[in-house]
């Protein structure tokens, strides 16, 4: 109960924390059809070049898969997009006008870039619905407690997300009692409650059953168009099931890009990643 009380105190929905307030004057401009521009990005850690003159472009509404061997720079790339890591050189633009390299991690998140890590991070003592309530955009200055009455609009939004992630029947269930796959879907749902423009999803099917993998594929494909989705994944069968376009990273830069068939048949990819 102490954990639950702490969450209810710290996550008051009438409290709007300063770091979650969007910066004034930053509006996403996707008039050219591209939501993310990474150009000539390089970053070095203790003499090791993790990202090497990386150029990557993600279209609005696109579902893109990023693959590559361990150490290819996939995680560092997402760290740069979300503001966790600052590159040594290069530019990172969100739409036409927002310079991500000038913003902090909370500011980037408030602009509509959501990141899901490999291990699900949900509030296990709380119910599925309470997790979604806590994730609701923080600029709505209402309800002093977790159990305050929701408006019809907010209930409708939660119902929509529950349907999207397939957890309608589990709304009252404690999140800690969900299966691994269901926790992954709940965390995606928590990101969706904030209505992000861009979702970064790291190895979503690691540890899942085949049935859960199939459901995750359906979920991610359903998000494309409404959101831009970038999926980092090692499971090639899963990537094939969802991706129209695949980017292969190697030694911190783009090695190949195209359909799954194109990259799998690329001699360079075969040599460095798919093992012949």
Rounded to whole angstroms, what are the CA distances from 131 to 47, 179, 212, 250?
A: 42, 15, 21, 37
Q: Residue 186's pLDDT is what? A: 97
Asked if residues 58 and 198 have their Cβ atoms less than 8 Å apart, the reply is: yes
**113 bridge partner residues:** 198
Rounded to whole angstroms, what are the CA distances from 212 to 124, 173, 205, 216?
A: 20, 18, 8, 6
Residue 227 CA to its chain's centroid (Å): 10
Q: What is the pTM of this model?
A: 0.86
**54 bridge partner residues:** 41
Q: Residue 139's pLDDT is what? A: 42
Q: Residue 8's pLDDT is what? A: 47
Q: Residue 148's pLDDT is what? A: 60
Q: Residue 13's pLDDT is what? A: 38
One pLDDT digit (tens) per residue for the chain, 276 residues: 455 454 444 444 333 333 334 444 478 999 999 999 999 999 999 999 999 999 999 999 999 999 998 889 999 999 999 999 999 999 999 999 999 999 999 999 999 999 998 787 899 999 999 999 988 854 444 444 455 677 888 899 999 999 999 999 999 999 999 999 999 999 999 999 999 999 999 999 988 999 999 999 999 999 999 999 999 998 999 999 999 999 999 999 999 999 999 999 999 999 886 565
Q: Residue 6's pLDDT is what? A: 47
- Burial-class residue 18 by CB neighbours within 10 Å (0-12, 13-18, 19+): exposed
Domains of the chain (ranges; CATH) run 2-274 (3.40.50.300)
């Amino acid at each position: 109960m102490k954990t639950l009380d702490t969450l209810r105190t710290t996550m008051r929905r009438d409290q709007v924390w300063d770091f979650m307030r969007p910066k004034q004057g930053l509006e996403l401009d996707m008039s050219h059809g591209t939501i993310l521009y990474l150009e000539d990005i390089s970053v070095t850690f203790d003499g090791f070049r993790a990202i090497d003159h990386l150029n990557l472009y993600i279209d609005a509404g696109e579902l893109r898969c990023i693959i590559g061997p361990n150490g290819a720079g996939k995680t560092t790339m997402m760290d740069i997009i979300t503001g966790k890591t600052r590159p040594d050189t290069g530019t990172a633009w969100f739409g036409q006008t927002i310079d991500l390299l000038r913003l902090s991690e909370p500011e980037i998140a408030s602009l509509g870039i959501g990141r899901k890590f490999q291990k699900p991070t949900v509030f296990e003592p709380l119910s599925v619905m309470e997790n979604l309530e806590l994730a609701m955009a923080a600029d709505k200055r209402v309800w002093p407690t977790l159990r305050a009455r929701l408006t019809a609009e907010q209930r409708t939004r939660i119902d929509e997300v529950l349907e999207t992630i397939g957890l309608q029947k589990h709304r009252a269930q404690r999140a800690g009692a969900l299966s691994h796959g269901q926790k992954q879907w709940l965390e995606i749902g928590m990101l969706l409650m904030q209505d992000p423009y861009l979702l970064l999803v790291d190895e979503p099917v690691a540890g899942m059953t085949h049935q859960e993998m199939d459901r995750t594929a359906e979920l991610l494909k359903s998000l494309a168009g409404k959101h831009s989705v970038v999926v980092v994944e090692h499971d090639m069968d899963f990537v094939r099931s969802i991706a129209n376009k695949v980017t292969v990273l190697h030694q911190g830069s783009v090695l190949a890009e195209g359909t799954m068939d194109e990259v799998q048949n690329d001699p360079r990819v075969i040599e460095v990643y798919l093992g012949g």
